């Protein structure tokens, strides 16, 4: 079955075909590094990771670029408020550069904990100021901009299909906007370059043909994507909240500058809800570090996310996370004895893989893919073949099956093994009373023993 994906632009699930038969160019909106990513943000990155892995399973190489927004993202998407980086620096009494590096390091740690593959290219907005200025110049030369006392704006009235991603025309978009117009011509117009007020100095500002200032949030993504991936992009991803403003503005900038359609496939992950939409604006939000502090394995959170389709809203609850953690423990108990019996030469079971691949290729239907994985664990087949099948499935699931092991740090394996040897000896001598005493002693220690023709093994109860 070919890989089929939902395209937000067309509102349909279609067979995915990149421009190049082997390499997929993909841009994913990265973090704004003024605070920790919350677990709702991380849902988007897990969805994108599944997409990258599914593309690889389908035989494609993926050239993926992710930006790091370390300037230009204002507290209000409508070009007003403080720069989020400067706000973060003031909150913590650090420089904007210290804030940016600290939260980028934290984000990369979250990615590692969740087995999210790193992008091919990381690009920071502050490293690409000239790239952004160059695209603003192109737009200015083509007549898509106007300059006011505070900014260079993109004139959305000059682009007849502005808003096509959200399928709202200009009149509808303008009617829905509640913005301070200032010197804007249209409510949907947005800043390409913000000028620093005369007589003031911001923490982050650069010279430009329009005066000292800083780039708008939207220009960084389109300009850096074009620089690193070329004029034609296969896939652009992000959260569903980006559709109406950020991604619509990216399309406007890119297509006005290039003069042709820019991106073939737009893909968006739905919200994680915790009562309502999870947000940083209140200052109180759940992070992966907090889940770890509470004793949860980060992979339990990944499993929790895989239990819902990426285009469906997902309600977070600790009960749901507990169920995911329990599933990971059960999977570990299944995997360890399979691994012990595997030689490494076995091949995956094709019938099991077929149902799994069908699920993944059906617009990343990970709930069905998980069901296919659990079905594989129940097959009447050699242990090594089942293990090989699970390993192959894990190339997309990324649950860490190859290294899954129960936590025995609170146990004394040598003492347990010695008791099992004593029990085996007692059974050989037909000293059934002593054998039962040792079994009860192990049970009191929280150890479950399994007898088979190949010997006795144990695990945490």
Answer yes or no: do 106 and 50 share one domain.
yes
As a whole number, mean pLDDT of residues 158-172 equals: 85
What is the residue-averaged pLDDT of the chain? 92
**Is residue 154 a part of any domain in this protein?**
yes
Element (H, E) at 26: strand 23-28
| CA–CA separation, 284 and 88 (whole Å) | 14
pTM of the model: 0.89
Any residues with CB less than 8 A from the CB of 215 and at least 6 apart, and which?
71, 72, 125, 129, 132, 133, 136, 192, 193, 194
Using the 3D structure, point to which of 397, 421, 451 is the last residue of a domain: 397
Strands (E) across 259-309 are located at 263-269, 272-274, 276-277
**Is residue 147 a part of any domain in this protein?**
yes
Query: Domain of 100: which CATH number?
Result: 3.40.50.620
Q: Range of 448's domain?
A: 413-460
| CA–CA separation, 416 and 22 (whole Å) | 53
Tokens 């949030």 -> residue:
217
- Asked if 402 and 394 touch (Cβ cutoff 8 Å), the reply is yes
Give Cα separations from 285 to 263, 277, 295, 308, 449 (angstroms).
33, 11, 18, 21, 43
Answer yes or no: do 354 and 454 share one domain.
no
pLDDT bracket for residue 375 (50, 70, 90): very high
Q: Provide the token pair at 277.
A: 């939409």
**Is residue 131 a part of any domain in this protein?**
yes
Q: What is residue 210's predicted lDDT score, i.e. its pLDDT?
A: 97
| CA–CA separation, 269 and 145 (whole Å) | 31
Answer yes or no: do 298 and 325 share one domain.
yes
Element (H, E) at 450: strand 447-452
**Is residue 38 a part of any domain in this protein?**
yes
| CA–CA separation, 173 and 165 (whole Å) | 12
Q: What is residue 175's predicted lDDT score, i.e. its pLDDT?
A: 46
Answer yes or no: do 253 and 114 share one domain.
yes
In sign, the C-alpha dihedral spanning 175, 177, 179, 182 is negative
Element (H, E) at 82: strand 80-83
Answer yes or no: do 54 and 121 share one domain.
yes
**Nearest CA to 31 among 86, 90, 96, 84?**
84
Answer yes or no: do 200 and 62 share one domain.
yes
Answer yes or no: do 300 and 229 share one domain.
no
As a whole number, mean pLDDT of residues 183-187 equals: 91
- Asked if 343 and 279 touch (Cβ cutoff 8 Å), the reply is no
Q: Check pLDDT > 90 for residue 75.
A: no
Answer yes or no: do 340 and 455 share one domain.
no
Answer yes or no: do 316 and 246 share one domain.
no
Q: What is the DSSP string of 364-398?
A: S-HHHHHHHHHHHHT-SS-HHHHHHHHHHHHHHH-
Using the 3D structure, point to which of 215, 247, 269 is the last residue of a domain: 269
Which of the two residues, 363 and 407, has the higher pLDDT score? Answer: 363
Query: Domain of 312: which CATH number?
Result: 1.10.730.10
Please tell me whether residue 337 adopts helix, strand or coil conformation.
helix
Q: What total of structural domains would you count in the chain? A: 3
- Asked if 115 and 299 touch (Cβ cutoff 8 Å), the reply is yes
**Is residue 406 a part of any domain in this protein?**
no
Task: List own/partner pairs for 6-11 with CB under 8 A and 24 or more apart.
Answer: 6/267, 6/311, 6/363, 7/264, 7/265, 7/266, 7/267, 8/165, 8/243, 8/266, 8/267, 8/268, 9/164, 9/165, 9/263, 9/265, 9/266, 11/167
Answer yes or no: do 104 and 248 share one domain.
yes
Pairing of strands 276-277, 314-315: unpaired
Answer yes or no: do 263 and 285 share one domain.
no
Answer yes or no: do 261 and 280 share one domain.
no
Tens digits of residue pLDDT in 383-432:
999 999 999 999 999 999 999 987 656 667 788 788 888 898 888 888 88
């Amino acid at each position: 079955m070919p890989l089929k994906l939902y395209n937000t632009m067309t509102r349909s699930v279609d067979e995915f075909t990149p421009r190049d038969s082997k390499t997929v160019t993909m841009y994913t909106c990265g973090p704004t590094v003024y605070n920790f990513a919350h677990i709702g943000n991380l849902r988007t990155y897990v969805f994108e990771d599944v997409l990258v892995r599914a593309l690889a399973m389908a035989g494609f190489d993926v050239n993926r670029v992710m930006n790091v927004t370390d300037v230009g993202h204002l507290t209000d998407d409508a070009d007003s408020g403080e720069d989020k980086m400067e706000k973060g620096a003031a909150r913590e009494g650090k420089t904007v550069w210290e804030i940016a590096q600290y939260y980028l390091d934290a984000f990369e740690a979250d990615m590692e904990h969740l087995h999210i593959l790193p992008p091919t290219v990381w690009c920071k907005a502050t490293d690409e100021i000239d790239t952004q200025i160059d695209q603003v110049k192109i737009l200015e030369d083509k007549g898509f901009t106007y300059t006011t006392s505070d900014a260079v704006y993109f004139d959305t009235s000059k682009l007849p299909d502005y808003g096509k991603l959200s399928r709202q025309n200009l009149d509808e978009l303008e009617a829905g906007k509640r913005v301070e117009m200032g010197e804007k011509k249209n409510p949907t117009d947005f800043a390409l370059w913000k000028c620093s007020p005369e007589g003031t100095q911001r923490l982050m500002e650069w010279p430009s043909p329009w005066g000292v200032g800083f780039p708008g949030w939207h220009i960084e993504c389109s300009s850096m994507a074009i620089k690193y991936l070329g004029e034609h992009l296969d896939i652009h991803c992000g959260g569903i909240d980006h559709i109406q403003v950020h991604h619509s503005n990216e399309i406007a900038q890119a297509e006005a500058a290039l003069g042709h359609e820019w991106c073939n496939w737009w893909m968006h992950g739905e919200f994680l809800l915790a009562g309502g939409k999870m947000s940083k604006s209140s200052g109180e939000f759940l992070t992966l570090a907090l889940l770890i502090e509470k004793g949860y394995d980060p992979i339990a959170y990944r499993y929790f996310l895989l239990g819902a389709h990426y285009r469906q809203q997902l309600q977070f609850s600790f009960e749901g996370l507990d169920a995911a953690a329990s599933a990971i423990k059960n999977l570990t108990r299944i995997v360890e004895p399979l691994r012990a019996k595997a030689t490494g030469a076995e091949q995956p079971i094709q019938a099991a893989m077929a149902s799994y691949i069908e699920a993944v290729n059906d617009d990343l239907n990970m709930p069905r893919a998980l069901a296919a994985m659990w079905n594989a664990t129940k097959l009447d087949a050699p242990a090594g073949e089942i293990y090989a099948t699970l390993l192959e499935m894990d190339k997309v699931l990324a649950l860490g099956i190859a290294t899954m092991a129960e936590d025995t740090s609170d146990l004394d394996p040598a003492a347990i093994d010695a008791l099992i040897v004593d029990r085996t000896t007692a059974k050989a001598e037909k000293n059934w009373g002593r054998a039962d005493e040792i079994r009860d002693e192990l049970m009191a220690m929280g150890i479950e023993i399994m007898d088979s023709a190949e010997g006795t093994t144990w695990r945490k109860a």
